[in-house]
Amino acid sequence: MVLFLHKNYIKETEMSKKILVIGGSASGPKAAARARRLDFHADITIIQKAHDLSMASCGYPYYVGGFFDNRNQLLCTPTGVVRDPSYFMKSKNINAITDTEVTSINRDAKTVEAKNLVTGEKHTYEYDKLILAMGATPKMPPVPGIDLKGITTLQSMPDADYLRKVRDEGKIKKAVVVGGGLIGIETCEALQLAGIKITVIEMLPQILMFLDWQLAKILENHVKSHAADVVTDNAVSAFLGDENGQLTAVKLANGDEIPCEMAVVAIGVTPNIKIAQEAGIKIGDCRGIMVDTYMQTNDPDIYAVGDCTEIPHRLSGTNVHAPYGDLANLQGRVAGENAAVGNVVEFPGTIQTGVCKVFEFSAGSTGLSRTSAEKLGYKNIETVTTSGPDRPGFMGAKILINRMIADADTGKLLGFECIGLGDASKQIGMAAMAIMGGMTIDQLVNADLPYAPPFSLAIDNILACAHALQNKLRGIMEGLSAVELYNKLAKGEKPFIIDCRSPDEWEEMRLGIGEHLIPVGGLRDRLNELPEDKSTEIVTYCKISLRGYEAARTLIANGFTNVKVMEGGIMAWPYHREK
């Protein structure tokens, strides 16, 4: 990546070019603004199909959920100025044309055809450099009844306005959210906060596919604790309606019918590529516009950014469709600069870092999951799950559950997932930097991170997780996940299970899986209660499995040879508990 060019390179470039941007929400205006900052003389125009500009789409669920009431806050600068055409002209000398759809691109003439969606008027715009920033369109399931009234998405400002109106009117009592991904779950929370009884339908075996099943199941339990229902492993087979064409129920593949007055579909998005494809711009395997690291398409005068593109995954090298707001902005910045001054900066791709709020929980992931690492051919993968408070108890600790994935052959960190009542986003951010920096677990264990009690533990969660993974890699700890233990028990295996907590804790909360209560402090004196055969499989745990780990070390020191720690302890147990 070219970072440090000599200071005056911008002045040497050709000025007064026409830069045309198609799409005016996240990546488009970013590209236009960057181009303007580097080329004061360029003629810069944004053509935007929607009525609004620079919408904070990521904020829609919070507007619908009533976290704030003024819709203009979704359209404002940090100082409260609405980013409308007049703002773009006055503050940036950028001509922003709204309610206008670009219908075709003529690469030979270097023009685009556009239609004003209010007046129907058509107009041709010229360009020297064109930036495609058309975003993506929500997928809709191809099932009967999809056109019924009451079926919507949460993708646009009008969608957000509609759902906010639904909230304010309070007439709708039951709704279904189709899709348990990031937007589906955020929508579920928003509508549940609006007093609507929600059922989330997810076709796959879990919600939030960016997480390991165990963590996703804990989140599902959290969603259900808020009186929202979650149905997994079941797809929508039809939307049912009345004689007025109004939605009345959603029918599932297993035949169940869920009565509802509204359905919000959130099953993913498809890149908007039509006009690019028709103009001969190359489309990739993920159905996104193909770009190189300069965000340039196969036409040197045309760049593409944001959700309409596909970009390389930095760990796999293969292209992915990564519809994230942060990436859209970063790509916009790169394309804006390159369109203004020539190809000087590059965008290296994504490691698919994301985070979301799920009621009181936050949840995120970065890099590869175990499954995606396996698919990529990593032969020797090690993972660990840990739980821990996000800060000392005297500062109001909140739980976090972490999962780390590493390549045992190179020791490199491949992925990290985190959920919990604490700030998962901070842990995910640190992990993302470590992955992008190519750090190994051995390097990560001694990372110098900020620490003070209001913010973290002396050893923050990501480091504690790295320590546990390093222990596993070095053979100091053998672990098994709650899922592995559960499956063992389901198969009739009978490991000797020790809960290492105190009797008081046991009274308050316990798994009830045939465990023996032996507090870690008394373990040395109670070894005679353990199986005589020292090769018997023993599983230890506590609330977060720190004492479980200490107990395991004590047992190993006393000659037991098959001792495993249930990773993450009770906090990471996704199944029903006796108490």
Ligand X SMILES: Cc1cc2nc3c(=O)[nH]c(=O)nc-3n(C[C@H](O)[C@H](O)[C@H](O)COP(=O)(O)OP(=O)(O)OC[C@H]3O[C@@H](n4cnc5c(N)ncnc54)[C@H](O)[C@@H]3O)c2cc1C
439 contact partners, CB below 8 Å, separation of at least 6: 412, 413, 447
Closer of 22 and 384 to ligand X (Cβ): 22
Shortest reach from residue 325's CB to ligand X, in Å: 3
Shortest reach from residue 349's CB to ligand X, in Å: 15
Contact criterion met (CB below 8 Å) for 411 and 203: no
Shortest reach from residue 147's CB to ligand X, in Å: 21
Closer of 35 and 102 to ligand X (Cβ): 102
528 contact partners, CB below 8 Å, separation of at least 6: none
Residues that bind ligand X (CB under 6 A): 22-28, 47-50, 57-58, 60-61, 101-102, 133-135, 154-155, 183, 272, 275, 306-308, 323-326, 328
Shortest reach from residue 240's CB to ligand X, in Å: 26
Shortest reach from residue 514's CB to ligand X, in Å: 42
Q: If you count them, how many residues does the chain have? A: 579
Closer of 354 and 389 to ligand X (Cβ): 354
Closer of 51 and 251 to ligand X (Cβ): 51
Closer of 134 and 511 to ligand X (Cβ): 134
Closer of 66 and 325 to ligand X (Cβ): 325
> Contacts by 12-17 with C-beta closer than 8 Å and gap 24+?
13/39, 13/340, 13/341, 13/342, 15/39, 15/40, 15/41, 15/42, 16/41, 16/42, 16/43, 17/42, 17/43, 17/128, 17/129, 17/340
**C-alpha span between 28 and 329 (Å, rounded):** 8
Closer of 105 and 539 to ligand X (Cβ): 105
Phi, psi for residue 21 in degrees, rounded to 5: -115, 130
Shortest reach from residue 124's CB to ligand X, in Å: 14
Shortest reach from residue 126's CB to ligand X, in Å: 16
Contact criterion met (CB below 8 Å) for 544 and 385: no
Contact criterion met (CB below 8 Å) for 303 and 339: yes
Alpha carbons within 13 A on the beta-carbon side of 524: 5
Q: Which residues pair with 564 in a beta bridge?
A: 539
CA-wise closest residue to 200 among 255, 140, 122, 264: 264
Instruction: Point out the residue whose Cβ comes nearest to ligand X.
Output: 306
CA-wise closest residue to 262 among 196, 215, 218, 327: 196
Shortest reach from residue 23's CB to ligand X, in Å: 3
Closer of 57 and 319 to ligand X (Cβ): 57
Closer of 358 and 497 to ligand X (Cβ): 358
Shortest reach from residue 114's CB to ligand X, in Å: 7
Q: Which amino acid is at 171?
A: K
Reduce the DSSP state of residue 1 to 3 states and report it.
Answer: coil
Reduce the DSSP state of residue 296 to 3 states and report it.
Answer: strand
